[in-house]
Amino acid sequence: MKISKETAKRFLLSYQNLLPPRRLSGREGILAFVRKVGCLQFDPLNIAGINTDLVLQSRVKNYRPDMLYGLLYEDRKLLDGWDKNMSIYPIEDWPYFKRFREDAKDHIRRSEHIDEILGQIRKDIEVRGPLSSQDFDFDKKVGWYWAPAKASRAALESMYWWGELVIHHRIGTRKYYDLAERNIPQEIFDRRDPNTNEEAYHRWHISRRIGSIGLFWSRSGDAWLGIKGLNSGKRIAAIEKMTRSGELIELEIEGFDYPVYTSSFNGELLDRCHESDGAQEASFIAPLDNLLWDRKFIKSLFQFEYTWEVYKQPQDRKYGYYVLPVLFGTEFVARFEPVFDKKKKVLNIKNWWWEERIAVTGNMKEAIRKCTDDFASFLGAEKIVT
């Protein structure tokens, strides 16, 4: 099937609940969205909200971070885990990631300082309940993945990665761990991995990852990160089989050199996206939003080039440290650099850059003003400084 770029954009943004934005409601809307897209990528950096909250504020009306916190640590409908890097996914997906946990136990970085305290940590959590690394007196430092860390932290993270522990709750950035079997429903905890071989697993995870975005090609890129044992040849072969079986729909977008794919369940939504409808609204997009997982794909479809520059030296940045794209209707029209001062409750907009190809209109400015007010409300800001 051949479609125009405009239809492809409308479909993708509609699937992502960004056309229109901020229409989902409460915890129920959040849970439905996460179940649809599979996972949200987690990053703890908080300049004007953490990534997962930034993803949801653009989709959920009157979103507040305690909504996601409640689904994770009160209702226990969602779970911290590894999918596309650190992520949040539905708790019922736990069995599908058994191979991740087994692989972690076989290959995680180990040392005698970690191994000798595992038993004591396990016993303390069994007796005392959820604990953080600060609750232990094991001060010995060990070599760890990002930097040297206390042995207690390394041990807790190891037990988390191989599935013995889960994150029970957080206080700020501090994680409190508890036994997985006490927090995951028994029927989910005991369930076997539904994928009995690598081919079945690859088809499941490819389908899941295409569903995380909504519309995607088979080219190599960051959107495929975290799928174990998958290389280009296996990915292309699996997608061809899934297309022949009717699991995926292959689409040709005008001006694209490569086909794109979506789930066959999305056929009805695709049919509705051939014509534009409704007033244009604005939304601010998270740096690790599902929509942006493959920057080359976004550049090809939207003619918008975005790089998250937090890891660059200041002199090497084109724009700024923590910059968010601005979406208006079906176009990326700008990007800006927000900083939230929590103590003063002030949202500072340090910089704003309009896209050169965009003709700025009054309707666009009014939509962005409304979006900015909603963004400030999400942060708890009482004042906006530009």
- Domain CATH number, residue 298: 3.40.630
Question: Is residue 234 assigned to a domain?
Answer: no
| Per-residue model confidence (pLDDT) at position 276 | 79
Question: Is residue 122 assigned to a domain?
Answer: no
| Per-residue model confidence (pLDDT) at position 354 | 98
pTM: 0.96
Quote the percentage of the chain above a pLDDT of 70. 99
Question: Is residue 238 assigned to a domain?
Answer: no
Q: Could you tell me the pLDDT band of residue 246, with boundaries at 50, 70 and 90?
A: very high
- Domain encompassing residue 371: 282-385
| Per-residue model confidence (pLDDT) at position 141 | 78
Contact 174, 81 (CB under 8 A): no
Question: Is residue 317 assigned to a domain?
Answer: yes
Q: Could you tell me the pLDDT band of residue 145, with boundaries at 50, 70 and 90?
A: confident
Quote the percentage of the chain above a pLDDT of 90. 90
Q: How many domains does the structure of the chain reveal?
A: 1
Q: Could you tell me the pLDDT band of residue 223, with boundaries at 50, 70 and 90?
A: very high
Beta partners for residue 314, in sequence order: none
| Per-residue model confidence (pLDDT) at position 209 | 99
> How many CA atoms within 13 Å lie on the side-chain side of 276?
9
| Per-residue model confidence (pLDDT) at position 108 | 76
Other Cβ atoms less than 10 A from the Cβ of 311: the count is 9
Helix (H, G, I), strand (E, B) or coil at 374: helix
| Per-residue model confidence (pLDDT) at position 270 | 95
Give pLDDT tens digits for 10-32. 999 999 999 999 999 999 999 99
Question: Is residue 131 assigned to a domain?
Answer: no
Give pLDDT tens digits for 82-129. 999 999 999 999 999 999 999 998 877 677 778 889 999 999 999 999
DSSP 126: H
Q: Could you tell me the pLDDT band of residue 232, with boundaries at 50, 70 and 90?
A: very high
Question: Is residue 119 assigned to a domain?
Answer: no
Average pLDDT, the chain: 96
Q: In whole angstroms, what is the distance from residue 118 CA to residue 130 CA?
A: 15
Give pLDDT tens digits for 361-383. 999 999 999 999 999 999 999 99
| Per-residue model confidence (pLDDT) at position 348 | 99
Give pLDDT tens digits for 308-323. 999 999 999 999 999 9
Cβ burial, residue 16 (10 Å; 0-12/13-18/19+)? buried
| Per-residue model confidence (pLDDT) at position 150 | 85
| Per-residue model confidence (pLDDT) at position 253 | 98
What per-residue string of b and e applies to 347-357 under the rule 16 or more CB within 10 Å gives b? Answer: bbbeeeeebee
Q: In whole angstroms, what is the distance from residue 100 CA to residue 84 CA?
A: 12
Question: Is residue 96 assigned to a domain?
Answer: no
| Per-residue model confidence (pLDDT) at position 140 | 78
| Per-residue model confidence (pLDDT) at position 169 | 98
Q: What is the dihedral of CA 288, 293, 296, 297, to 10 degrees?
A: -130
What per-residue string of b and e applies to 258-290 under the rule 16 or more CB within 10 Å gives b? Answer: eebbbbeebeeebeebeeeeeebbbbbbbbbbb
Residue 222 has pLDDT above 90, yes or no: yes
| Per-residue model confidence (pLDDT) at position 75 | 98
Q: Could you give phi then psi for residue 116, rounded to 5 degrees?
A: -75, -10
Q: In whole angstroms, what is the distance from residue 322 CA to residue 124 CA?
A: 40
Q: Could you tell me the pLDDT band of residue 274, with boundaries at 50, 70 and 90?
A: confident
Contact 111, 143 (CB under 8 A): yes
| Per-residue model confidence (pLDDT) at position 326 | 99
Question: Is residue 378 assigned to a domain?
Answer: yes
Helix (H, G, I), strand (E, B) or coil at 3: strand
